[in-house]
Amino acid sequence: MNRMLLPMILLAAAPVALAQSNYVDRQAGPVAESISYGYADVLRVDPIYETVMTSEPREECYERQGQYRERSGGDPTGGTVLGAIIGGALGNQVGKGDGRNAATVAGAVIGGAIGRDVDKNNGSAGGRYERGGTNCRVIEVQREQRQVVGYDVEYRYRGEVFMSRLNYDPGERMRVRVAIAPAD
């Protein structure tokens, strides 16, 4: 008798299972069988703009010009000799006897060194020339930019007009999803 009972229970439960497959849960929404797809004619597309600040690096270069004077110090021998003579003469005026000879030699050495440095640093002026160049640096440039962030789309499906906001321009026709559920 147990073998007969199982098939009868299954036959009795079949209509309930079929009815539940078409059931629409009011909380969760329609089940998959009540959704279909179609195409709507697009009537109008209005882009939505947003102002955005952007920063981008840019290289800025400028020409540098300047006039320079080059000294031609030449050979410092003349200044060394002249300084040694003057230094020796001054050293000869100081002291008596052997001290005078030492002062003359010291004055000549010191005077020669000073004369060489003076001639080297204050030599005759050489030529003048212009030396330029290019200086470059990277700077950040701030810009305001208007960017499209979406589209307000007006479309007609089966004689009724609808509005939606999309993140793309759908063109002349757009695919729509149609869901049918019983009204409360």
Express each pLDDT in 57-68 by its tens digit: 998 888 877 666
- Measured CA to CA, the distance from residue 177 to residue 65 in angstroms comes to 70
Q: What is the pLDDT of residues 102-152, one digit of tens each?
A: 777 777 778 777 877 777 766 555 556 666 788 888 999 898 989 999 999
Asked if 122 and 80 sit in the same domain, the reply is yes
Quote the pTM value.
0.38
Q: What is the pLDDT of residues 45-99, one digit of tens each?
A: 999 999 988 888 998 888 877 666 655 555 667 777 777 788 777 777 776 777 7
User: Is residue 151 a contact partner of residue 48, using CB atoms and an 8 Å limit?
Assistant: yes
Asked if 77 and 122 sit in the same domain, the reply is yes
Residue 157, SS3 per DSSP: strand
Q: How many domains does the chain have?
A: 2
Asked if 46 and 80 sit in the same domain, the reply is no
- Measured CA to CA, the distance from residue 167 to residue 47 in angstroms comes to 9
HEC profile of 45-85: EEEEEEEEEEEEEEEEEEEECCEEEEEECCCCHHHHHHHHH
HEC profile of 97-133: CHHHHHHHHHHHHHHHHHHHHHHHHCCEEEEEEECCE
Q: Determine the longest span between alpha carbons in the chain, in angstroms.
A: 156
Task: State which residues form the domain around 170.
Answer: 27-56+144-184
Instruction: Kindly write down the DSSP assignment for every residue of 27-42, as one continuous string.
Output: TTB--GGGEEEEEEEE
Asked if 51 and 76 sit in the same domain, the reply is no
Is residue 97 domain-resident? yes
Is residue 8 domain-resident? no
Taking alpha carbons only, the member of 40, 25, 43 closest to residue 158 is: 40
Q: What is the pLDDT of residue 151?
A: 96
The DSSP call for residue 25 is B
Asked if 121 and 76 sit in the same domain, the reply is yes
Asked if 122 and 153 sit in the same domain, the reply is no
- Measured CA to CA, the distance from residue 26 to residue 98 in angstroms comes to 128
Output the six-digit token pair for 17: 């299972």
